């Protein structure tokens, strides 16, 4: 919005010319989202406490050891992802080109996934159930996937690239059928959404890793939207995708603001409201800039968390034995005696390394 309000005034005052630069607006979006988080956070935490929207720590034979580690978190406010959603949307609205097609689809994605996450959290907290059935979640995420593909296919800037699949370390993209590509991006969006959800088990862990991944995809969005840099690095040029840098920056600022309250010992948890929204949004951004497979590199921590669950379940069903003390992976180290803060910080370090590897791979194409 500020782009349309202030940039036209550049003839009156030359200083307003800075609003043409994505880098300036991205920085503004990050700082604004952080400030909004610091203002909204204390109020939201108080309201969640009043409404008794508290975390329930599972107990029982399968969770006894984990319960001993986490019982002090019982009753901590959850659904703090509402803060993330509000600050991301407000900051993006202020600093991005809101009539840009990619930004519009991100507004739709954020609101759609936030409603899904809130519903899931509500059922868990108020109905004392396990949340939305997996089939309904999958169906709703499939609707989002079709909407994203529809945008790619019918947008004049991306129609010719709609079915192209870029591969890390390869110069030329691979063209696949529409059906295969829809199935593929469904897996990307669902996978990234659920991966962040699985990682959200320790104070600050998921949000810290998500901030790192969002920052990396902010760089990739800028590269994909700049015809000169995209040409130099031999990556697909996606007109208008540079604006996604502003959205990613808003995610970074909002994530850092949330981390202020979610750092150990956490005063609030993001819940499915935040995890599903952040993960799904990152997946959609990856699709929009045709860097879906880079999630395997940049989101290495999330990939490891998902794989640990798959391997654990598969091993137990096939061999009757577990590979890890507990899955997802962060719980394995927790049960092995690592302090929670040590696990979180070390996973952040690995996330940074993975992001650098993903960004560095652009030069190897």
Closest CA to 166 of 61, 296, 53: 296
In a domain, 342, yes or no: no
DSSP 8-state assignment for residue 164: E
Averaged pLDDT for residues 256-279:
95
- In the chain, the DSSP E strands lie at 164-165, 174-175
User: Using an 8 Å Cβ cutoff, are 266 and 55 in contact?
Assistant: no
Phi, psi (rounded to 5 degrees) for 200 = -80, 75
Averaged pLDDT for residues 282-302:
95
In a domain, 7, yes or no: no
Averaged pLDDT for residues 246-252:
98
Phi, psi (rounded to 5 degrees) for 134 = -60, -35
The answer, yes or no, to whether the previous bond of 265 is cis (omega within 30 of 0) is yes
Phi, psi (rounded to 5 degrees) for 328 = -65, 175
**C-alpha to C-alpha distance for 231 and 20, rounded to whole angstroms:** 22
In a domain, 362, yes or no: no
- For residue 172, give its domain range: 22-297
**Helix 178-199 vs helix 271-288: angle between axes, to the nearest 10 degrees?**
140
The contacts of residue 299 (CB under 8 Å, 6+ apart) are 192, 195, 209, 213, 282, 354
In a domain, 345, yes or no: no
Question: Which residue(s) pair with 164 in the sheet?
Answer: 175
Tens-place pLDDT, residues 131-182: 788 889 889 999 999 899 888 888 766 777 778 888 888 888 888 888 899 9
**Helix 134-154 vs helix 178-199: angle between axes, to the nearest 10 degrees?**
130
- The pTM score is 0.94
In a domain, 27, yes or no: yes
| pLDDT in the model for residue 364 | 81
In a domain, 359, yes or no: no
- In 5-49, the DSSP E strands lie at none
Question: Which residue(s) pair with 54 in the sheet?
Answer: 77
In a domain, 341, yes or no: no
In a domain, 50, yes or no: yes
**Helix 81-95 vs helix 271-288: angle between axes, to the nearest 10 degrees?**
40
| pLDDT in the model for residue 60 | 47
Tens-place pLDDT, residues 90-129: 999 999 999 999 999 999 999 999 999 999 988 888 766 7
| pLDDT in the model for residue 8 | 78
Tens-place pLDDT, residues 316-337: 898 988 999 888 999 999 989 8
Look at the chain and report how many structural domains it folds into: 1
DSSP calls for 198-217: HHTTSTTHHHHHHHHHHHHH
Closest CA to 266 of 339, 203, 360, 353: 203
């Amino acid at each position: 919005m500020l782009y349309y309000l202030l940039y036209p005034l550049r003839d009156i005052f030359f200083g307003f010319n800075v609003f043409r630069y994505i880098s300036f607006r991205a920085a503004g979006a990050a700082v604004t989202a952080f400030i909004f988080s610091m203002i909204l956070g204390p109020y939201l935490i108080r309201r969640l406490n009043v409404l008794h929207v508290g975390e329930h720590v599972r107990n029982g034979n399968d969770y006894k050891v984990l319960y001993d580690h986490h019982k002090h978190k019982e009753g901590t406010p959850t659904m703090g992802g509402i803060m993330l959603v509000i600050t991301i949307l407000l900051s993006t609205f202020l600093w991005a080109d809101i009539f840009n097609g990619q930004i519009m689809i991100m507004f739709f994605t954020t609101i759609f996934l936030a409603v899904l996450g809130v519903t899931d959290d509500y059922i868990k907290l108020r109905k004392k159930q396990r949340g939305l059935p997996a089939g309904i979640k999958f169906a709703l995420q499939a609707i989002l996937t079709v909407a994203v593909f529809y945008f790619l296919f019918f947008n004049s800037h991306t129609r010719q690239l709609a079915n192209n699949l870029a591969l890390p370390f390869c110069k030329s993209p691979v063209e696949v059928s529409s059906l295969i590509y829809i199935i593929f991006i469904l897996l990307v969006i669902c996978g990234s959404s659920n991966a962040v959800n699985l990682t959200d088990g320790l104070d600050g862990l998921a949000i810290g890793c998500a901030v790192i991944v969002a920052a990396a995809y902010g760089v990739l969005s800028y590269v994909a939207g700049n015809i000169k840099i995209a040409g130099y690095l031999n990556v697909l040029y996606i007109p208008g995708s540079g604006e996604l840098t502003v959205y990613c920056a808003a995610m970074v600022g909002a994530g850092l603001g949330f981390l202020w309250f979610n750092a150990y010992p956490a005063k609030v948890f993001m819940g499915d409201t935040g995890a599903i929204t952040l993960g799904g949004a990152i997946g959609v951004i990856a699709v929009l800039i045709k860097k879906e497979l880079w999630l395997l590199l940049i989101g290495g921590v999330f990939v490891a968390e998902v794989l640990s669950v798959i391997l654990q379940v598969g091993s137990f069903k096939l061999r009757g034995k577990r590979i890890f003390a507990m899955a997802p992976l962060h719980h394995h180290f927790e049960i092995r005696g690592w302090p929670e803060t040590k696990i979180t910080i070390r996973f952040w370090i690995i996330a940074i390394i993975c992001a650098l590897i993903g960004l560095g791979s652009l030069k190897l194409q």
